Amino acid sequence: MEDCKPPVFTFGIIADIQYADIDDGLNFKQTRKRYYRNSLRLLQKANEGWNEEKVKPSFILQLGDIIDGFNKKYDASQRALDTVVRVFDHSPAVHHVWGNHEFYNFTRGALLSSVLNSSTNQQSVSDADEFYAYHFSPTHNFRFVVLDAYDMSIIGREQSSEKYEQSLKLLKDHNTNEDLNHPPVFSGLEQRFVKFNGGFSEDQLKWLDGVLSKADEAEEKVTVASHLPVHPDSTDPICLSWNYNEVLSILQSHKSVVCFMAGHDHDGGYHRDCSGIHHLTLEGVIETPPESNAYGTVHVYEDRMVLKGNGRMLDRVLEYPGNL
Protein backbone atom coordinates (compact mmCIF):
# COMPACT_ATOMS: atom_id res chain seq x y z
CA MET A 1 0.00 0.00 0.00
CA GLU A 2 2.73 2.49 -0.87
CA ASP A 3 1.32 5.80 -1.99
CA CYS A 4 3.26 8.00 -4.40
CA LYS A 5 1.88 11.31 -3.16
CA PRO A 6 2.73 12.32 0.42
CA PRO A 7 -0.28 12.55 2.75
CA VAL A 8 -1.62 15.95 3.82
CA PHE A 9 -0.87 14.80 7.37
CA THR A 10 -0.90 11.64 9.47
CA PHE A 11 -2.12 10.78 12.98
CA GLY A 12 -1.68 7.86 15.37
CA ILE A 13 -4.53 5.83 16.88
CA ILE A 14 -4.61 3.55 19.91
CA ALA A 15 -7.33 2.30 22.31
CA ASP A 16 -7.93 0.56 25.61
CA ILE A 17 -4.39 0.45 26.95
CA GLN A 18 -5.77 -0.25 30.48
CA TYR A 19 -2.33 -0.31 32.06
CA ALA A 20 -1.96 -1.56 35.66
CA ASP A 21 1.10 -2.83 37.47
CA ILE A 22 -0.59 -6.15 38.24
CA ASP A 23 -0.33 -9.74 36.99
CA ASP A 24 -2.12 -10.82 33.82
CA GLY A 25 -5.80 -11.67 34.24
CA LEU A 26 -8.97 -12.41 32.27
CA ASN A 27 -11.99 -10.42 31.13
CA PHE A 28 -15.31 -10.83 32.99
CA LYS A 29 -16.45 -13.73 30.79
CA GLN A 30 -13.03 -15.40 31.19
CA THR A 31 -12.70 -15.68 27.42
CA ARG A 32 -9.83 -13.24 26.82
CA LYS A 33 -6.50 -12.76 28.55
CA ARG A 34 -5.61 -9.26 29.78
CA TYR A 35 -1.92 -8.28 29.79
CA TYR A 36 -1.94 -5.44 32.33
CA ARG A 37 1.82 -4.79 32.59
CA ASN A 38 2.64 -5.58 29.00
CA SER A 39 0.16 -2.99 27.73
CA LEU A 40 2.72 -0.34 28.73
CA ARG A 41 5.40 -2.08 26.67
CA LEU A 42 3.05 -2.22 23.67
CA LEU A 43 2.36 1.51 24.06
CA GLN A 44 6.13 2.16 24.14
CA LYS A 45 6.52 0.14 20.93
CA ALA A 46 3.66 2.05 19.33
CA ASN A 47 5.34 5.30 20.24
CA GLU A 48 8.64 4.09 18.74
CA GLY A 49 6.74 3.13 15.58
CA TRP A 50 5.13 6.57 15.29
CA ASN A 51 8.52 8.26 15.82
CA GLU A 52 10.03 6.20 13.00
CA GLU A 53 7.30 7.15 10.48
CA LYS A 54 8.49 9.02 7.37
CA VAL A 55 5.69 11.56 7.88
CA LYS A 56 5.54 12.03 11.65
CA PRO A 57 2.00 11.99 13.10
CA SER A 58 0.63 15.47 13.79
CA PHE A 59 -1.13 14.07 16.87
CA ILE A 60 -2.14 10.85 18.60
CA LEU A 61 -5.80 9.96 19.20
CA GLN A 62 -6.08 7.89 22.39
CA LEU A 63 -9.58 6.41 22.45
CA GLY A 64 -10.06 5.93 26.18
CA ASP A 65 -9.44 3.50 29.06
CA ILE A 66 -5.80 4.54 29.28
CA ILE A 67 -5.39 2.87 32.72
CA ASP A 68 -7.38 0.01 34.23
CA GLY A 69 -9.97 0.31 36.99
CA PHE A 70 -7.94 -2.14 39.11
CA ASN A 71 -5.53 0.72 39.87
CA LYS A 72 -8.17 2.27 42.10
CA LYS A 73 -8.28 -0.85 44.28
CA TYR A 74 -4.52 -0.58 44.89
CA ASP A 75 -4.59 3.21 45.37
CA ALA A 76 -2.34 3.41 42.30
CA SER A 77 -4.46 5.50 39.90
CA GLN A 78 -2.24 8.59 39.78
CA ARG A 79 0.97 6.53 39.68
CA ALA A 80 -0.33 4.43 36.79
CA LEU A 81 -1.48 7.52 34.90
CA ASP A 82 1.91 9.23 35.38
CA THR A 83 3.65 6.07 34.11
CA VAL A 84 1.53 5.87 30.98
CA VAL A 85 1.60 9.54 30.00
CA ARG A 86 5.38 9.61 30.46
CA VAL A 87 5.58 7.36 27.39
CA PHE A 88 4.10 10.25 25.39
CA ASP A 89 6.89 12.68 26.44
CA HIS A 90 8.60 13.98 23.27
CA SER A 91 5.58 12.80 21.23
CA PRO A 92 3.19 14.97 19.27
CA ALA A 93 0.07 16.27 21.01
CA VAL A 94 -2.19 13.54 22.38
CA HIS A 95 -5.96 13.88 22.23
CA HIS A 96 -7.49 11.87 25.06
CA VAL A 97 -10.99 10.41 24.83
CA TRP A 98 -12.55 9.38 28.18
CA GLY A 99 -13.82 5.83 28.77
CA ASN A 100 -15.41 3.97 31.67
CA HIS A 101 -12.02 3.12 33.24
CA GLU A 102 -11.16 6.85 33.50
CA PHE A 103 -14.21 7.17 35.77
CA TYR A 104 -13.35 4.05 37.79
CA ASN A 105 -10.10 5.84 38.70
CA PHE A 106 -10.96 9.53 38.88
CA THR A 107 -13.87 11.86 39.46
CA ARG A 108 -15.02 14.01 36.56
CA GLY A 109 -13.63 17.08 38.35
CA ALA A 110 -10.21 15.43 38.79
CA LEU A 111 -10.17 14.42 35.10
CA LEU A 112 -10.95 17.97 34.01
CA SER A 113 -7.88 19.28 35.84
CA SER A 114 -5.66 16.35 34.79
CA VAL A 115 -3.38 15.68 31.84
CA LEU A 116 -6.28 13.70 30.34
CA ASN A 117 -8.13 16.95 29.66
CA SER A 118 -6.77 17.62 26.20
CA SER A 119 -9.45 20.20 25.46
CA THR A 120 -7.66 22.92 27.43
CA ASN A 121 -5.55 24.15 24.52
CA GLN A 122 -8.40 24.15 22.06
CA GLN A 123 -10.27 27.30 21.11
CA SER A 124 -13.54 25.50 20.69
CA VAL A 125 -14.21 23.82 24.00
CA SER A 126 -17.78 23.10 24.97
CA ASP A 127 -19.00 24.00 28.44
CA ALA A 128 -16.64 21.57 30.14
CA ASP A 129 -18.69 21.46 33.37
CA GLU A 130 -21.47 19.86 31.43
CA PHE A 131 -19.62 17.41 29.20
CA TYR A 132 -16.11 16.84 27.91
CA ALA A 133 -16.29 17.44 24.17
CA TYR A 134 -14.30 19.63 21.82
CA HIS A 135 -13.14 19.90 18.25
CA PHE A 136 -9.95 20.90 16.51
CA SER A 137 -8.63 21.35 13.02
CA PRO A 138 -5.07 20.08 12.49
CA THR A 139 -4.99 21.64 9.04
CA HIS A 140 -7.27 23.42 6.58
CA ASN A 141 -10.25 21.26 5.40
CA PHE A 142 -10.00 18.65 8.18
CA ARG A 143 -11.66 18.58 11.59
CA PHE A 144 -11.77 16.16 14.52
CA VAL A 145 -14.50 16.02 17.17
CA VAL A 146 -13.94 14.37 20.55
CA LEU A 147 -17.19 13.25 22.24
CA ASP A 148 -18.09 12.42 25.84
CA ALA A 149 -19.75 8.97 25.74
CA TYR A 150 -20.35 8.99 29.53
CA ASP A 151 -22.14 12.33 29.60
CA MET A 152 -25.30 10.39 30.57
CA SER A 153 -24.04 7.71 32.91
CA ILE A 154 -24.15 6.47 36.47
CA ILE A 155 -20.37 6.23 36.54
CA GLY A 156 -18.60 9.58 36.73
CA ARG A 157 -21.71 11.59 37.62
CA GLU A 158 -22.42 12.77 41.16
CA GLN A 159 -25.31 10.81 42.66
CA SER A 160 -26.97 14.10 43.55
CA SER A 161 -26.90 15.33 39.93
CA GLU A 162 -29.85 15.42 37.55
CA LYS A 163 -27.87 13.54 34.90
CA TYR A 164 -27.22 10.68 37.36
CA GLU A 165 -30.90 10.48 38.22
CA GLN A 166 -31.98 10.50 34.55
CA SER A 167 -29.32 7.93 33.62
CA LEU A 168 -30.29 5.58 36.45
CA LYS A 169 -33.93 5.80 35.41
CA LEU A 170 -33.12 5.03 31.77
CA LEU A 171 -30.91 2.11 32.78
CA LYS A 172 -33.49 0.66 35.17
CA ASP A 173 -36.25 1.07 32.58
CA HIS A 174 -34.28 -1.33 30.39
CA ASN A 175 -32.45 -3.48 32.93
CA THR A 176 -34.11 -4.99 36.00
CA ASN A 177 -31.03 -6.85 37.26
CA GLU A 178 -29.72 -6.03 40.70
CA ASP A 179 -26.20 -5.83 39.25
CA LEU A 180 -26.58 -3.22 36.51
CA ASN A 181 -23.34 -4.38 34.88
CA HIS A 182 -25.19 -7.59 34.09
CA PRO A 183 -26.98 -7.21 30.70
CA PRO A 184 -30.79 -7.45 30.64
CA VAL A 185 -30.76 -10.00 27.76
CA PHE A 186 -28.20 -12.34 26.24
CA SER A 187 -28.46 -11.22 22.62
CA GLY A 188 -29.58 -8.22 20.60
CA LEU A 189 -29.29 -4.49 20.98
CA GLU A 190 -30.94 -4.28 24.44
CA GLN A 191 -27.72 -5.74 25.87
CA ARG A 192 -26.25 -2.23 25.67
CA PHE A 193 -28.21 -1.12 28.75
CA VAL A 194 -25.47 -1.85 31.27
CA LYS A 195 -23.74 0.36 33.79
CA PHE A 196 -20.37 0.21 31.99
CA ASN A 197 -21.89 2.01 28.99
CA GLY A 198 -23.38 5.49 28.78
CA GLY A 199 -25.04 7.99 26.49
CA PHE A 200 -24.96 11.51 25.05
CA SER A 201 -27.12 14.28 26.53
CA GLU A 202 -29.49 16.37 24.42
CA ASP A 203 -27.14 19.34 24.93
CA GLN A 204 -24.16 17.42 23.62
CA LEU A 205 -26.12 16.19 20.59
CA LYS A 206 -27.21 19.76 19.84
CA TRP A 207 -23.61 20.94 20.20
CA LEU A 208 -22.42 18.17 17.83
CA ASP A 209 -25.09 19.06 15.28
CA GLY A 210 -23.92 22.72 15.36
CA VAL A 211 -20.24 21.81 14.96
CA LEU A 212 -21.05 19.54 12.01
CA SER A 213 -23.26 22.18 10.34
CA LYS A 214 -20.34 24.62 10.34
CA ALA A 215 -18.04 21.88 9.02
CA ASP A 216 -20.54 21.19 6.18
CA GLU A 217 -20.49 24.88 5.24
CA ALA A 218 -16.69 24.97 5.30
CA GLU A 219 -16.58 21.76 3.19
CA GLU A 220 -14.41 20.02 5.77
CA LYS A 221 -13.83 16.29 6.28
CA VAL A 222 -14.72 15.36 9.85
CA THR A 223 -13.66 12.40 11.98
CA VAL A 224 -15.66 11.94 15.19
CA ALA A 225 -14.17 10.04 18.15
CA SER A 226 -15.85 8.54 21.23
CA HIS A 227 -15.03 5.69 23.59
CA LEU A 228 -18.30 3.95 22.75
CA PRO A 229 -19.19 2.81 19.21
CA VAL A 230 -22.48 4.05 17.71
CA HIS A 231 -23.12 1.62 14.86
CA PRO A 232 -24.51 -1.85 15.76
CA ASP A 233 -22.55 -3.46 12.91
CA SER A 234 -19.21 -2.10 14.09
CA THR A 235 -19.22 -3.74 17.53
CA ASP A 236 -20.61 -6.40 19.83
CA PRO A 237 -23.96 -4.80 20.85
CA ILE A 238 -23.02 -5.05 24.54
CA CYS A 239 -20.50 -2.24 23.87
CA LEU A 240 -22.88 0.17 22.07
CA SER A 241 -23.78 3.60 23.39
CA TRP A 242 -27.25 3.72 25.00
CA ASN A 243 -28.54 6.31 22.49
CA TYR A 244 -26.34 5.28 19.56
CA ASN A 245 -29.29 5.80 17.17
CA GLU A 246 -29.55 9.53 17.97
CA VAL A 247 -25.84 10.10 17.33
CA LEU A 248 -26.00 8.04 14.16
CA SER A 249 -28.85 10.06 12.67
CA ILE A 250 -26.96 13.30 13.36
CA LEU A 251 -23.77 11.94 11.77
CA GLN A 252 -25.69 10.73 8.73
CA SER A 253 -27.38 14.11 8.25
CA HIS A 254 -24.04 15.91 7.70
CA LYS A 255 -22.05 15.51 4.51
CA SER A 256 -18.83 16.49 6.28
CA VAL A 257 -18.63 13.31 8.38
CA VAL A 258 -16.26 10.71 6.96
CA CYS A 259 -15.34 8.49 9.88
CA PHE A 260 -16.37 7.54 13.43
CA MET A 261 -13.68 6.02 15.66
CA ALA A 262 -14.26 4.23 18.95
CA GLY A 263 -12.68 1.81 21.41
CA HIS A 264 -14.33 -0.23 24.23
CA ASP A 265 -14.90 -3.46 22.24
CA HIS A 266 -11.44 -5.00 22.51
CA ASP A 267 -12.05 -7.32 19.56
CA GLY A 268 -12.45 -4.29 17.29
CA GLY A 269 -14.88 -3.94 14.40
CA TYR A 270 -15.59 -2.13 11.17
CA HIS A 271 -18.65 -1.17 9.16
CA ARG A 272 -19.33 1.31 6.37
CA ASP A 273 -22.85 2.66 6.87
CA CYS A 274 -25.53 3.58 4.32
CA SER A 275 -24.22 7.18 4.18
CA GLY A 276 -20.69 5.99 3.44
CA ILE A 277 -19.38 6.82 6.95
CA HIS A 278 -16.66 4.45 8.14
CA HIS A 279 -17.23 3.13 11.67
CA LEU A 280 -13.94 1.90 13.03
CA THR A 281 -13.76 0.23 16.44
CA LEU A 282 -10.13 -0.19 17.42
CA GLU A 283 -8.70 -3.41 18.84
CA GLY A 284 -7.79 -2.97 22.50
CA VAL A 285 -4.14 -3.03 23.58
CA ILE A 286 -5.01 -4.71 26.91
CA GLU A 287 -6.11 -7.95 25.22
CA THR A 288 -3.25 -8.02 22.72
CA PRO A 289 -0.60 -10.74 23.21
CA PRO A 290 2.95 -9.50 23.95
CA GLU A 291 4.32 -10.62 20.57
CA SER A 292 1.69 -8.59 18.68
CA ASN A 293 0.39 -5.00 18.99
CA ALA A 294 -2.73 -2.92 18.30
CA TYR A 295 -2.08 0.59 17.03
CA GLY A 296 -2.19 2.39 13.73
CA THR A 297 -1.14 5.42 11.73
CA VAL A 298 -3.75 7.09 9.56
CA HIS A 299 -2.44 8.75 6.40
CA VAL A 300 -4.85 11.49 5.40
CA TYR A 301 -5.18 12.42 1.72
CA GLU A 302 -7.54 14.83 -0.07
CA ASP A 303 -9.76 11.94 -1.28
CA ARG A 304 -9.29 9.18 1.36
CA MET A 305 -7.64 8.10 4.56
CA VAL A 306 -5.37 5.05 4.63
CA LEU A 307 -5.02 3.23 7.94
CA LYS A 308 -1.74 1.40 8.33
CA GLY A 309 -2.35 -1.04 11.14
CA ASN A 310 0.18 -2.85 13.31
CA GLY A 311 -0.20 -6.28 14.89
CA ARG A 312 -3.85 -7.23 15.01
CA MET A 313 -5.03 -3.86 13.69
CA LEU A 314 -5.68 -4.28 9.96
CA ASP A 315 -4.77 -1.95 7.10
CA ARG A 316 -7.82 -0.22 5.62
CA VAL A 317 -8.53 2.26 2.83
CA LEU A 318 -11.24 4.68 3.94
CA GLU A 319 -12.62 6.49 0.90
CA TYR A 320 -14.62 9.60 1.70
CA PRO A 321 -18.42 9.36 1.30
CA GLY A 322 -18.47 11.92 -1.55
CA ASN A 323 -16.33 9.46 -3.52
CA LEU A 324 -18.84 6.61 -3.29
Ligand X SMILES: Nc1ncnc2c1ncn2[C@@H]1O[C@H](COP(=O)(O)OP(=O)(O)O)[C@@H](O)[C@H]1O
Residues that bind ligand X (CB under 6 A): 27-28, 65, 100-101, 179, 181-183, 196
The residue among 154 and 205 lying less far from ligand X, judged by its C-beta, is 154
The residue among 28 and 54 lying less far from ligand X, judged by its C-beta, is 28
Q: How far is the CB of 191 from ligand X (least distance, A)?
A: 9
The residue among 27 and 44 lying less far from ligand X, judged by its C-beta, is 27
The residue among 148 and 220 lying less far from ligand X, judged by its C-beta, is 148
Query: Per residue, what are the HEC states of the chain?
Result: CCCCCCCCEEEEEECCCCECCCCCEECCCCCCEECCCHHHHHHHHHHHHHHHCCCCCCEEEECCCCECCHHHHCCCHHHHHHHHHHHCCCCCEEEECCCHHHHHHCCHHHHHCCCCCCCCCCCEECCCCCCCCEEEEEECCEEEEECCCCCECCCCCCCCCHHHHHHHHHHHHHCCCCCCCCCCCCCCHHHHCCCCCCECCHHHHHHHHHHHHHHHHCCCEEEEECCCCCCHHHCCHHHCCCCHHHHHHHHHCCCCEEEEEECCCCCCEEEECCCCCEEEECCCHHHCCCCCCEEEEEEECCCEEEEEEEECCCCEEEECHHHC
Q: How far is the CB of 222 from ligand X (least distance, A)?
A: 26
Q: How far is the CB of 128 from ligand X (least distance, A)?
A: 24
Q: How far is the CB of 65 from ligand X (least distance, A)?
A: 6
Q: How far is the CB of 286 from ligand X (least distance, A)?
A: 7
Q: How far is the CB of 168 from ligand X (least distance, A)?
A: 16
The residue among 126 and 226 lying less far from ligand X, judged by its C-beta, is 226
The residue among 70 and 320 lying less far from ligand X, judged by its C-beta, is 70
